[in-house]
Structure 1
Amino acid sequence: MIIEHPQQGERAILVHLDGHAPDVREDPYEFQELAVSAGAVIARFVSVSRHQPTARFLIGSGKVEELRQLVLAEKADLVIFNHALTPSQERNLQRELDCRVLDRIGLILDIFAQRAQTYEGKLQVELAQLEHISTRLVHSRTDLSRQQGGIGLRGPGETQLESDRRLLRVRVRQIKSRLEKVRNQRQLARRSRQRADMPGISLVGYTNTGKSTLFNLLTESKVYAADQLFATLDPTVRRIEIPNLGAATLADTVGFIRHLPHKLVEAFRATLEESANADLLLHVIDAHSPERDEQIKQVLTVLQEIDADDVRILEVYNKIDLMDNLEPHIQRDEQGVPQRVWLSAAGQQGIDLLQQAIAELLEEEIYVATVRLTQEHSRLRGKLFDLNAVQQETHAEDGASVLKLRVAKIEMDKLLSREGVTPSDFFAQFAEH
């Protein structure tokens, strides 16, 4: 059960550790965006210079005392750390500060709890929350159970903190079983699309790069899009028409983020499989962001985690309307193959170039051709219809069938192999000129 949100934003003190190693350092500006997205009112932002985190509090005892005074002065409801806290660190800090303490993982989980709308999305969020809570059940303080919701306490938090580990394990098993059914349903839907020879395209990228705005343009849909982190959580799949290619499916997926909690990657694996099973990934990048290179690196890391790193990628550099003297264009490699498309989804600039690049990349996987078969080749004609390769059939004056074909290369090659014909020979003999 999702707990009701507070009517007003909670006053929060944000704590950011500076001086961490580059591979674990977090972005302070992104941290503030996350807090605002969760509904917090930022009372104070505290940057702590700490090269060696402590085992007890993460920060030094002197800084803990400063935070305690700030909590009293600002009448803060909670303190949020821009880093992962161990269960013992979280308990120690709550005891010393006498208020709720939340780490980066709990903050992200809370935003996900707010954004989930579908049955599947809510299950995935609850699973991630329960697995996060399970590490904090030992010696947990039941006084927090009296809270009426709030950042970090949405979802199953309060009721599960009062439950024992056995009940928690039962609930986790139930959710995993239901998500497995969802996963099987997605696989069936995917196979159905594959039988229809529709290539699958998936939008991936860092959160708030404009994926949903681009999705709406390409599909003429009205998926929720906003200038905030994790505006889209529940996946959406739509059929689109690509000029010079034909029908395809386009999936809009949850945005990635720096150090995305592993629990979320696991919980959302069924959803993220839309990307792993796609024929083409559109990696949407905020071209204007000063953190662009780091965001690209984080997305590629998550793609590797979900076994999608071998899927073909077309980079889409969005938001060029925020840059000076940059026009929409396609950037190609030495062989002339599209690598990047520079565009503005908000300004509706360069969408035709994106469609052109998609068609060029996907047509390598699909035969789109018109062939002419005489009556002596009626058996081959029947096989093409059985394969659902024929989009349109007309007849020439001499009675020959003129077939407009669109079929996955792998399926066509299998058919021609059984017929003892090579693709080059087939099209050389039957192609309509």
Structure 2
Amino acid sequence: MCVKGNQILRARMIECGFTQAELAEAVNADLRAAGYEGTVSDRTVRNWLTGKTNWPHPRQRSALEAVFGCPMNELGFTSRREEPSGSASTRSPVHRRSFVTSSAGAALTSMRVPAYGAPPRVGLGDIRRLVSKFSLVIASDHRYGGKLTIETQASALAGEAIALQARGTASQRLRGALYGCAASFTSSAMWAAIDGCRFDAAQRHFDRASSLAAMSGDSTIQFRIWSHAGSLYRHMVRPADALAANDVARNLPIARRDSMFASLGHARHAAIQGLNGDARAVRQALGHAQDALQQANMDEQRPVWMTAFYDQAELESLAVAAYLALGDYESAEAHGHRSLALLRPEMHRTRVITTARVALAQLGQGELEPAVTTAMSIPAEPTGQHPRVASMLRDFGYALRFTARNSSHNRTWDEYTNENRRSRNDD
């Protein structure tokens, strides 16, 4: 190991937004999800970075591979000897995640309780503590969205819920609630991966979340997971799969019982139908979504992930996506302005995504000056670096150059983006 230590690991941590403490917690979460004790500390990570430890223990190596999604040699670690066949570090992180997911239920029942004492009893207080932590993840998602750290934090919470199953005793109802918590947290990791355009990771989270949700027996979390699957396939431009997944969500009992869930299902269906170019289906789905939302009892108790984001503003935002996909730019802009006017102050991520869509809608109508002004109103940091926003702004730049390469508006946009690029490089 060179004198400067493990610069490759340091660079990967910066790329993923990990502090030393956050990486330690992410590795511990993976260890706990695999049924081991999480013993990695801030000091452990520091030893990896300085090169004092150039080849971690086998379990830590497997956890590191799972967290970063790559083998150890791509994280700057080197082994002094050849690893035996089938060792922890030679197994792929995907295989490890699949093994952990498929064996979670078996592990919970097969782990032995120490003979010297009865296992602790899991209670409602444990559930409330997990939900309280989950609320912080939801708040971070609404502020930043798409970050790998949010995905990792949500996965870590799922690991905590599964670990509670293994370490303590609980009633059947509470066990179902723990599986529901684990499924919900994994679904948030899935959404963070979708939002960050990490679609392979999102698919893996979906596989795990759907199996946990099935064990919970809770149609509410099943709705969220299948609705997220519909969004995943929509962003991957696979409308047939997106419609099929969203139909699973819309046909669950919770969507028939609660009009707010029905409304969300219809609104996301409209966004998918936009990809199919079916204007009639888009208008029909949005009409159903609006009717259902108006019928919903706003005082009814619902999960935090639902109440934290879905309202009239989100319905309008999904309408923007639908009409943009159709090429109906006038309708897209109108819905975009309504969404921005109704958005709650804390919904930073949704605000910048909707603003970028409005800029695209204005450009589609040939309104160059308003479009450039709208696009330039998006803060460069941190929300402007959101993967989906960055992608939309790149598309905006391509479309502006194609439409009006020699215009003053195109020169203004080029100067603005070049200045932002120089600022980031200086930092």
Q: Same fold (TM over 0.5)?
A: no
* Bigger proportion of residues as strand: 1
After TM superposition, the score normalised by the length of structure 2 is 0.30
